[in-house]
């Protein structure tokens, strides 16, 4: 009888733990930041359980000159908390800007042509904010970009993905229903096409030939309105990132 009671208690505790995990922050991973292929530097996993690995990531301090940028990017706005990467935005004055926010990228540290990126993240929710994950060209003379996701923080009910080029015949974008919760975004870039899955559902297949140049990953929370209303808890949360280059015959 005592054994049955103990077993019942254990079962109840396990069920309670599963419910708690399912309704709180994303389930903890059982892997650490790992380089799968050190020789070719072809695949990386970041789960942000310790610190941002600056062997692969740049933490930007800058104010980009753009009519769509009203925030100053500061390293202090990038923090790791509860195994999550937080990109925070604040309504505060800094060097002529009325807002500060955060940006990280892999420029010069992890660049690739074709591959796969899987990111589990939750966008910031405040009017005037834009949570963005994109690929930018290594070549400074190129203006082609790939938006993996762009998610507005206001009550707009859509987000977008796509390829953007000065040559409009090479531009291809797509809007999809916005998800304000944690979701898994799987981006695949091959020589023939680009696809995006969200929580295992295909939402985008490119209709133009993808860029054929090397790119790097850029993740930021931009302030794109001069009158942005930023709540105290406005943050872009990233649970984990998996990046892998497409292997070639020589690798």
**Separation between Cα atoms, residue 11 and residue 25, nearest integer Å:** 22
| Alpha-helix runs per DSSP H in the chain | 2-23
Residues 182, 120 contacting (CB under 8 angstroms): yes
Whose tokens are 């500061």? That residue is 74
Whose tokens are 């409009």? That residue is 168
What would the pLDDT profile of 103-123 be if each residue is shown by its tens digit?
Answer: 999 999 999 999 999 999 999
Percent of the chain with pLDDT over 70: 81
The domain segmentation of the chain, as residue ranges, is 31-245
| 233 vs 3 pLDDT, higher one | 233
In the predicted model, what is the mean pLDDT of the chain? 84
* pTM score: 0.83
Work out the number of other CB atoms within 10 angstroms of the CB of residue 19: 10
What would the pLDDT profile of 134-191 be if each residue is shown by its tens digit?
Answer: 999 999 999 999 999 999 999 889 999 999 999 888 999 999 999 999 999 999 999 9
Residue 185 per-residue DSSP state: E
**Separation between Cα atoms, residue 11 and residue 34, nearest integer Å:** 34
Q: φ, ψ for residue 26 (rounded to 5)?
A: -55, 150
**What is the per-residue pLDDT for 1?**
52
Closest C-alpha among 251, 176, 174, 179 to residue 205 = 174
Determine which helix (DSSP H) or strand (DSSP E) holds 13, and give its type and residue range: helix 2-23
Closest C-alpha among 90, 93, 111, 115 to residue 101 = 90
In the numeric block, which tokens belong to residue 69?
């940028």
CATH of region 31-245, choose from 2.60.120.200, 1.20.200.10, 3.40.50.200, 2.60.40.420: 2.60.120.200
What would the pLDDT profile of 218-247 be if each residue is shown by its tens digit?
Answer: 999 999 999 999 988 899 999 999 999 886
């Amino acid at each position: 009888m005592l054994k049955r009671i103990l077993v019942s208690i254990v079962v109840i505790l396990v069920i309670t733990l599963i419910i708690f995990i399912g309704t709180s922050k994303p389930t903890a991973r059982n892997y650490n930041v790992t380089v799968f292929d050190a020789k070719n530097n072809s695949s990386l996993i970041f789960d942000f359980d310790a610190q941002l690995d600056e062997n692969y990531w740049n933490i930007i301090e800058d104010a980009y000159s753009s009519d769509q940028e009203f925030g100053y990017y500061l390293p202090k706005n990038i923090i790791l908390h509860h195994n999550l990467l937080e990109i925070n935005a604040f309504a505060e004055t800094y060097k002529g800007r009325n807002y500060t926010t955060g940006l990280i990228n892999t420029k010069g540290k992890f660049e690739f042509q074709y591959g796969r990126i899987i990111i589990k993240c939750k966008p910031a929710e405040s009017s005037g904010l834009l949570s963005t994950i994109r690929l930018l060209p290594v070549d400074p003379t190129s203006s082609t970009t790939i938006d993996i996701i762009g998610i507005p923080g206001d009550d707009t009910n859509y987000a977008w993905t796509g390829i953007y080029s000065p040559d409009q015949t090479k531009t291809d974008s797509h809007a999809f229903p916005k998800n304000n919760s944690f979701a898994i975004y799987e981006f695949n870039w091959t020589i023939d096409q680009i696809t995006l899955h969200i929580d295992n559902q295909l939402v985008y297949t490119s209709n133009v030939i993808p860029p054929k140049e090397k790119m790097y990953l850029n993740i930021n929370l931009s302030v794109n309105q001069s009158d942005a209303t930023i709540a105290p808890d406005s943050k872009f949360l990233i649970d984990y990132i998996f990046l892998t280059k497409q292997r070639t015959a020589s690798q």
